[in-house]
Structure 1
Amino acid sequence: MAVLITGGLGHVGSWVATHLARAGRKVIICDMAAAHFDRMGLDYLEEVRDNIVLESVDVLDTHTLFETFLRYQDELEGVIHGVSVIAGPTFKTRPFRHLSINAMGTLNVYETCRLLGIKRIVNMSSGAVYGDASGQLHETTPYKATDLYGATKISGELYGDQYSETYDMDIRQARLFFVYGPGKKPSHMHAVYQAMFGPLEGLKGVHAANGRDQITDWTHVEDTAQGIVRLFDTPAVPHRHYNISCGVAVSHQRIVELVSEQLGYDSDMQLGPGPFVVRGAPLDIQRARDDLGFTPRYADIREGLEDYRRWLLGQS
């Protein structure tokens, strides 16, 4: 049997694929970057290349999406949907394109699965569905969109719930939060990420315009991935929505300080006032602990930073 992952060459998707492939499972990765895999530097995924099939697919191309899913229909356990334009100030610069990828792309995956009788889907949603709600955020916290990205994630969940109800499908929502770790170099990310994690790669003197006053869950990418795999693999779950994060809130400024402490020197990283994106925190992960046996390995971000640094050193 096989698992198909859309966006399987993205930061989270590539680690989900790695965890599945390491367990000996066949993984079909549908990603527009498939042709460039050999140049992406995903060393951990290259190690399990024999269990990986790469397909170049745009989730907005409904015909190619359907034809690709159809080709593997008889061997699929299910689908993990991870294609998404990430949150950030640039999301609103091309609203129709970004909204289409996140909302219509998700709907295209659901509909293709419905037509082909593929029942189980895990959708990579987001803690952005809670917006700026205060306090510890539980899966029963009401939806609240405070930006366009959050609105796309709410729509993806609502589509999923209704497809599950109407067509007897098993669509599960993994509400992810801010992710860091191996697979993404800080130098390839936005300025706030660079200011926090960049010194681990040797960056210095990054001055971001905002982000200093934000407190949120930063979850190691492998913890995020193993939570998604657990949600996919658990035979029957009593709920459709699960927070998948470290469950521990930490301030952006504190991360800057912890990185300096780990390195033993100050890299002149500065965060400007205000949040990077408006979000509440932390996510409550007790439901995932109880139902999925999910336990973050890197709940202490200092250990996660050490692991991230080791990976970055190996890339130089």
Structure 2
Amino acid sequence: MSTVMITGGLGYVGRYLTKKLSEQGVKVVSYNRDYSEAKSEFMTPVQGELYDIPRIVRTIQDFGVDRIIHTAAMSHPDLSIDLPITTVAANIDGTIHLLEAMRLAGIKRLINFSSETVYGHFEGVINEQTPTNPTTPYGVTKVATEHFGRVYNDLYGMEVTSLRIAEVYGPENKMPQVLRDILKTLHRGEKFVLPTGGDHRFHYIHVEDVVRAVLMAAETRDLKGGVFNIAGDRSWTLHEAVELIRKIIPDARIEVGDGYWHLDRHGEWDLSAAQRELGYRAQWSLEKGLMHYSDWLRDHEY
């Protein structure tokens, strides 16, 4: 790779990607709507909006960008229920403006962050051919970005790959997330109580595995686009995850009731396409990830 642009480079996964690429000596342009003075030998911040096509085109040309990783989004399903129009503007309009800027600038490869939410409720085995049936405005926007990517691939010869990423956890996350909430409560010396939800099944994926999958998609030479499921090595009920936390923190006081969350229910995910086409396999088991995350949270205010 020569120069990679990351939209939302100040966000959770965006920061990880920027750091990892910079460590590898890859030049990174971090494109964000917020101003940042953070700069290094291999990373340059650029302030701009996704709807500003001329600015994106200039950024691509000025820095010699040859591919883009698109993480910028309104990224919480529950928030989208309260703010559907804002979510559509950020996620659909932002993506189509970015695609058009890339087309005009003459670059092809985009790694688009999609989501597990595209599937809605589906308790069978889920692969990329499973019908999409989102239950939130956020999920609808992610399906739309996938379709725009496919259309730009077909019409303009672009290489848009959408990654349907499962429940991300790990260091530096500031958004509500159940594993984060449990660990932070326990580290404060308090009891974690959740009246219901222990039977809900989650496909947790450590942020380091997300970064690996994204970079594999960005670097795979003959990849012409497509859609891939990206998750950890297996699914876990919340009850099962709690038992792992009790192994890590033996004096943990956790009370989680049976039943399900309001979130979509999924069966197991089939990751064979990502394994075959990208070479992706999760390296972080949930137990390993929780041990690492718990230790990290003890030393950091997040």
Q: Which residue is equivalent to 2:234?
A: 248
SS of corresponding position for 2:217:
helix
Runs of 5+ consecutive residues of structure 1 not aligned to the other structure: 38-45
C-alpha deviation, 1:214, in angstroms: 1.7
C-alpha deviation, 1:290, in angstroms: 1.4
Which of 262, 286, 290 matches 1:301? 286
Q: Which residue is equivalent to 2:7?
A: 6
Residues paired across the two proteins, number: 300
Contact 1:256-1:269 at 8 Å conserved across structures: no
Give the helix-richer structure, 1 or 2: 1
With normalisation by structure 1, the TM-score equals 0.86
Give the 5 Å matches for 1:82-161: 82-161=71-150
Contact 1:227-1:294 at 8 Å conserved across structures: yes
Identity percentage of aligned residues: 26
Give the 5 Å matches for 1:21-36: 21-35=22-36
Contact 2:29-2:45 at 8 Å conserved across structures: yes
C-alpha deviation, 1:171, in angstroms: 0.8
Task: Determine if the alignment matches structure 1 residue 55 to structure 2 residue 41.
Answer: no
C-alpha deviation, 1:197, in angstroms: 3.6
C-alpha deviation, 1:282, in angstroms: 2.8
With normalisation by structure 2, the TM-score equals 0.90
Amino acid at match of 1:142: P
C-alpha deviation, 1:108, in angstroms: 1.1
Rounded Cα–Cα distance in structure 1 between residues aligned with 2:175 and 2:295: 18
Q: Deviations over 1:64-83 (max 9, x none)?
A: 434433432xx222111011
Rounded Cα–Cα distance in structure 2 between residues aligned with 1:110 and 1:33: 21
Task: Determine if the alignment matches structure 1 residue 216 to structure 2 residue 202.
Answer: yes
Q: Deviations over 1:225-255 (max 9, x none)?
A: 1001001100012761111111411012322
201 and 285 in structure 1: CA distance in 2 versus 1, 3 angstrom threshold: farther
Which of 263, 283, 296 matches 2:269? 283
Contact 2:118-2:142 at 8 Å conserved across structures: yes
Contact 1:174-1:243 at 8 Å conserved across structures: yes
Amino acid at match of 2:299: G
Runs of 5+ consecutive residues of structure 2 not aligned to the other structure: none
Q: Deviations over 1:79-111 (max 9, x none)?
A: 110112223322211111112111111111111
303 and 63 in structure 1: CA distance in 2 versus 1, 3 angstrom threshold: same
282 and 34 in structure 1: CA distance in 2 versus 1, 3 angstrom threshold: farther
Amino acid at match of 1:297: Q
Contact 1:21-1:52 at 8 Å conserved across structures: yes
Amino acid at match of 2:42: N
Q: Which residue is equivalent to 1:165?
A: 154
Q: Which residue is equivalent to 2:295?
A: 310
Q: Which residue is equivalent to 2:59?
A: 68
Contact 2:8-2:30 at 8 Å conserved across structures: yes
Worse-superposed segment, 209-218 or 121-130: 209-218
Q: Deviations over 1:146-178 (max 9, x none)?
A: 221110010000000001100111111111111
Contact 2:37-2:45 at 8 Å conserved across structures: no
